[in-house]
Amino acid sequence: MEEIYIEHGGTPVTQDEMEQAIDTLISASGRLSRVLIIPPDYTRSHSYAGEFTKILYRKLSGTASVDIMPALGTHMEMSKEEKEAFFGTDIPESAYLVHHWQTDTIKLGTVPSSVNSEISGGLFDEDIEVEINHRLIDGGYDLIFSIGQVVPHEVVGMANYSKNLFVGLGGRSMINKSHMLSAICGMEKCLGVMDSPARKLYDYAQQHFIDGKIPLVYIQTVTKQNAQGCVDLCGVFIGSSRKPFEKACRLSQQLNITYLDRPAKKVIAYLDPKELKTTWVGNKGVYRTRMIVADGGELLLLGPGIQAFGENEEMDEMTRTIGYTGTPRILGLYRQGKVFAGKMMSAAHLIQGSSEGRFTITYATNKELMSEDEIRGVGYNWADYQETVKRYDPEKLKEGWNTMPDGEEIYFVGKPALGLWKLESQK
C-alpha cells in the first residue's frame, strides 16, 4: 500500500483529514473480514489513538469482525469507564480483548547475545526471546492496525512503531530484557533519540520476525499541547515500513522537546489522577523532566491519584522491597542474582526512577491513597497533596517558568507524558 503522511508544520490535523486517511487506508487494503486493532491503554489518552480506533471500528464493523486489544504491556487492565472515555460508548464490551503478558504470548525467535552485545557496546550480552501475543499469529486476521503516539520515551528513545508490539503485546523475556538493556546503556543518553539501543533491538526483531510474516500496518500520531492547555493532533503517519516512524520522530523531536537555557532549582510536574495512578507510570514526571533539574534541586510530583507503586502485584512488591535507591545498589543486586530473577524490568524501572543523588524527588500524594511511610519507604520524600497545592496549585500555575509571591522561581510541567525537557547544552 502507498503510505500516508499528514503534517502541516505543527498546525493541527483536521477530523476530515483523519477520516480521509482511514478511508484511503481501508480502500487500499482490499476485502477485510477479520481485523485486529491495537491501540495503547488509557495512560496514553492524549495520543488520539482513541479517535482512530473509533473511526476504524465505525467504518469496518459493519462488514468485518473487529477485535480491539489495548497494548497494555505490564499495565493493569483498562476499566469499563476508561474504555468509554478513550474509545467512546459505541464499541461493545465484547469487541475488547485483554493482553496477559505472563501467559498469552508465543515465542517467534531470539535476538542472539552477540547482537545485543553489539547494540549495547558490550554492556548486555544475553539472548532475548521475542515473544508476542499469540492472537497476532493464530487469530486469523486479514489485517492488524497498530496505533500509537510517537513521543520522547525513557526506554526506547522515541515511543511507538514496533515497541507497541514487543512491549505492549510482549512477554516476560522481551519486556524485561529490553528494559534492562536500555537502563544499563543509560536513560539520559537515549531520551528523545530515534536510534536508541532498545530501538535497535526492536528493529532487529521487526525485521526478522514481523516484516512479511504478519499483515500489519502502523498508524502513528504526533501531538502537542497548545497554548490553551488542550492537545492537538499535529501529524499522522501510516504505513508498514519504518519510514512513517522516522518521519513522525522528526516531527515529534521538533514539537515535543522543550529546551531551557538554564536548569531549574525546583521543577513541579502534575500527574493527572485519571491516567497516572502508580509511580510505575507516574514516574514519567521523573524521566521527562530530570534533565532540567539543577544539581541539588528538587523535583516535586503532584500525584493526587497515586495509590500503588507497580501496575501489578509482582512489580509493586519489588518496588516496596528494593526502592528507588540508585544504580550502583540496584545493578549490584541484579548482577548478583539476588532479587531480580525473571524481573529485570523492575530493576530497570527502579534505576530509571532514581535521581542518583543529584537532586531530591518528592511525591505529594493524598495520604488516604498513599501514605507518607510508603513513599519514604521506597526512597522518595513525601508531602501532603492537599497542603502542597495551597501553594503550588496546578490550576493556577502556567506552563514553564513561574515566580511565586515570595519570589521563589519554579518550572511547571502540566503534562509530562507529552514531551521531554532538556537544557540547550544537552542538544
Q: Does residue 270 contact residue 364 with C-beta atoms inside 8 Å?
A: no
User: 4-255 adopts what CATH topology?
Assistant: Rossmann fold (3.40.50)
Residues 259-298 have pLDDT tens digits of 999 999 999 999 999 889 999 999 999 999 999 999 999 9
Q: Could you tell me the CA-to-CA distances from 150 to 153, 159, 205, 277 in Å, in that order?
A: 9, 5, 19, 22
Specify the length of the chain in residues: 427
Q: What is the pLDDT of residue 340?
A: 67
Residue 399 to residue 415: CA distance in whole angstroms: 9
- CATH class for the region spanning 259-426: alpha beta
Q: What is the pLDDT of residue 74?
A: 82
Q: Does residue 363 contact residue 304 with C-beta atoms inside 8 Å?
A: no
Q: What is the pLDDT of residue 260?
A: 98
Closest CA to 110 of 93, 126, 92, 94: 126
Grid coordinates representing 392? 503550588
Give the pLDDT of the chain (427 residues) as one tens digit per residue: 799 999 998 899 999 999 999 999 999 999 999 999 999 998 888 899 999 999 999 999 999 999 999 999 888 899 999 999 999 999 999 999 999 988 999 999 999 999 999 999 999 999 999 999 999 999 999 999 999 999 999 999 999 999 999 999 999 889 989 998 999 999 998 999 999 999 999 999 999 999 999 999 999 999 998 888 889 999 999 999 999 999 999 999 999 999 999 999 999 999 999 889 999 999 999 999 999 999 999 999 999 999 999 888 888 988 999 999 998 998 888 888 766 666 777 888 899 999 999 999 999 999 999 999 999 999 999 999 999 999 999 999 999 999 999 999 999 999 999 999 999 999 8
Same fold, 4-255 and 259-426: no
Q: What is the pLDDT of residue 384?
A: 98
Q: What is the pLDDT of residue 342?
A: 60
Q: Could you tell me the CA-to-CA distances from 190 to 159, 277, 339 in Å, in that order?
A: 11, 26, 26
Q: What is the pLDDT of residue 387?
A: 98
Residue 391 to residue 387: CA distance in whole angstroms: 8
Q: How many other CB atoms are there within 10 angstroms of residue 44's CB atom? A: 28
Domain boundaries, given as residue ranges, for the chain: 4-255, 259-426
Grid coordinates representing 302? 503532584
Q: What is the pLDDT of residue 45?
A: 84
Closest CA to 356 of 293, 408, 272, 412: 293
Alpha helices per DSSP H over 218-343: 243-255, 279-282, 284-287, 313-322, 327-336
